[in-house]
Amino acid sequence: MRVREHFKLTEKQAPLAAVTRADTPEVAKRRQPCLALDIAPLAGKLKTRPQSIAEQLDGLKVPPPCREWYLGL
C-alpha cells in the first residue's frame, strides 16, 4: 500500500490488496513460506549500506514518457 501512497493513487487507480498465504491455499502450496531476503550476513561485508524499503520507495519516480498520463489521473 505504500506504493499507492507514494504515487498518490486512489484505490480505484491502483486496486492493491494485502493477501496472506492462508487466504490463498492453492497458491501457498506452490510457493515457499517466506520470500524475505535475509541480507544481514551480506550487509557486514558491503562497503555501502543497503537501502531500506522506504528509502528505495523514495527513489521511485514516474518515467518521463508516463508523466503526462500520471499527472492527468
Task: Report pLDDT for 66.
Answer: 92
What pTM was estimated for this model as a whole? 0.46
Q: State pLDDT tens for residues 19-59.
A: 787 888 887 888 777 777 777 788 778 888 888 888 898 89
14 C-beta neighbours (distance < 10 Å), count: 14
pLDDT-above-90 percentage for the chain: 8
- For residue 42, CA distances in Å to 31, 34, 37, 63, 72 come to 24, 18, 11, 31, 42
Q: How far apart are CA 20 and CA 27, in angstroms?
A: 10
* pLDDT above 80 for 63: yes
**Cell numbers at 29, concatenated:** 502450496
Checking if the pLDDT of 72 tops 80, the result is yes
